[in-house]
Structure 1
Amino acid sequence: MRSVSVVVPVLDDADQLAHCLASLSAQTVLPTEVIVVDNGSSDRSVAVAAAAGATVLHEPVRGIGAAASHGYDAATSTLIARVDSDSVLPPDWVECAARRFDDPLVTAVTGPGRFRGLGPVAAVFWDVAYMRAYFLLMTGALARPPLFGSNMVMRRTAWLAVRHRVHRFDPQVHDDVDLSIQFDPAWRTVFDPSLVASVSGTPVRDAVGLVVRTRKAGRTMWTSGMRAFAPGRIMRRVLAGTRAVPVVRRP
């Protein structure tokens, strides 16, 4: 089984972080390391991470992109997983995700989130209107599945190949979409509908937050320019075929 580093960015989310880390410690195949990147928390997030045995890093630049990128840079395993502090993973999450990389052409694996804390009707509505819409619309835009930051694993070599291109210090960019765009069009991202993470339903109850997320999506696509233009991506994939991530030595 390949080694897996799990990166968890956090900002003032101690209670949910505790559940996230507990789910990681209960995996059938334990991650090689868990890296919690604190983005300036004023609550007990750092103490919770330390008590759980995670490696704690500090990112002074506010923004999930900066925090996540800091964690990816520090990861030492063959595979780098990313979940959010509100993600709760099933016990076989690491094992099932890592197995996907038995195919040498797979660059990254991602799966959906299932909102918790919502009523049954609201849960179904937001699954369709938010989660399924995200994967459908972004797959159309990118000509392949996008990464979902609460539930994703990528090869470390892929990160090393694109780390200089991501807009890590722009807090108005969706870091997972930005990373998806920076991947070479010939790299294969697998969407696994059975690889489900439980995520908090709080964000979809925040109307203002939803507007902000929509604006960030537009900025992310605009900032990345032609890399986000589907016809161009499709043409590159047709011309190049599907190829493995190049070997990139860590600087």
Structure 2
Amino acid sequence: MTAAPLTISVVIPVLDDERALARCLERFAAQSVAPLEVVVVDNGSADGSADVARAAGARVVEEPVRGIPAAAAAGYDAAVGDVIARCDADSVVPPDWVERIRDAFAADPALEGLTGPGRFIDLPRPWRGVASVAYAVGTFGASGAAIANVPLWGSNMALRRTAWAAVSAEVERLDASVHDDLDLTMRLGPRARLRFEPRLQVGAEGRMFHSRDAARRRVAMAMRTFRRNWAIDGSAGRRWLHRVSGRGLLVGEAQR
């Protein structure tokens, strides 16, 4: 008997993003494999983001607590698909994005999370490639070393719903100064089966590169996220020890 195909829920947190959201939802309407649902989490928008979502057939979830951690978690909680895919309103997903995600999880039943790179489409053309590579090195290289796993990137990621259920009570939801995707990755732990797929690429806005203050703010958020999780589970060294040997069991994993 052939197993039923995996179902994919797409979660998009929004705050006053109606124009970008309209473009994003058009791309989901043109996917080679349609998602089971698109869940748009309205984080208190003053514009027509919710109306745009409903007009496109998306399910709207209201999250009054401001901040991406609260909005993203509300979307994951509401999702009903086997796999939860996540992007932002400004993510420019290719037409086979959902199909690639579905096939990756179907091919590897142990896979818990999947992520890929971005190309920054709003920067001056000579700088787009440099900025995209620099961001990838910082996100997947430096952050990966600090957390002892592949960091999930919120603009382009997917998570098996059972993996979310295992850590949903542990992730930070209230502190908007925490990177929600990085915090989620650290709660999943260094031995979670997470994969970086270079062919799973999306376009995105390079907000970090718009100003020095924006860059400093993102770095400060990353350090805040690291410290929160290191205080719970121990240092980066302990995480690597747990990853390679199974010793130094993390507190969060001991509770699950």
TM-score, normalised by the number of residues in structure 2? 0.90
Deviates more, 1:184-193 or 1:7-16: 184-193
Distance 1:228 1:207, change over 3 A: farther
**Which of 176, 182, 198 is matched with 1:177 structurally?**
182
**Counterpart residue number, 1:236:** 242
Taking the aligned partners of 2:219 and 2:190, their CA distance within structure 1 comes to: 24
How far residue 21 of structure 1 moved from its aligned partner, in angstroms, is: 0.9
Please give the per-residue CA displacement for 1:55-80, whole angstroms capped at 9, x wherever unaligned. Answer: 00110000001000000001111101
1:176 partner letter: D
Distance 1:33 1:225, change over 3 A: same
The answer on whether the counterparts of 1:107 and 1:155 sit within 8 Å (CA) in structure 2 is yes
Distance 1:82 1:228, change over 3 A: farther
Taking the aligned partners of 1:118 and 1:61, their CA distance within structure 2 comes to: 31
Taking the aligned partners of 2:193 and 2:108, their CA distance within structure 1 comes to: 10
How many positions carry a matched residue from both structures? 242
**Which of 38, 47, 53 is matched with 2:51 structurally?**
47
How far residue 203 of structure 1 moved from its aligned partner, in angstroms, is: 4.2
Please give the per-residue CA displacement for 1:95-145, whole angstroms capped at 9, x wherever unaligned. Answer: 111211121221100001111022222112211222332111111112221
1:197 partner letter: V
| Partner SS for 1:106 | coil
Say whether residues 1:215 and 2:195 are aligned partners: no
| Partner SS for 2:88 | coil
Alignment of 1:189-228 (within 5 A): 189-226=194-231, 227=233
Deviates more, 1:196-205 or 1:16-25: 196-205
The answer on whether the counterparts of 1:105 and 1:187 sit within 8 Å (CA) in structure 2 is no
The answer on whether the counterparts of 2:172 and 2:180 sit within 8 Å (CA) in structure 1 is yes
Unaligned runs of 5+ in 2: 248-252
Percent identity for Structure 1 against Structure 2: 46
**Counterpart residue number, 1:26:** 30
How far residue 228 of structure 1 moved from its aligned partner, in angstroms, is: 6.5
Alignment of 1:147-186 (within 5 A): 147-186=152-191
Alignment of 1:126-137 (within 5 A): 126-137=131-142
**Counterpart residue number, 2:21:** 17
Taking the aligned partners of 1:116 and 1:210, their CA distance within structure 2 comes to: 17
Taking the aligned partners of 1:123 and 1:228, their CA distance within structure 2 comes to: 37
1:234 partner letter: W
Unaligned runs of 5+ in 1: 247-251
Taking the aligned partners of 2:140 and 2:244, their CA distance within structure 1 comes to: 22
**Counterpart residue number, 1:65:** 69
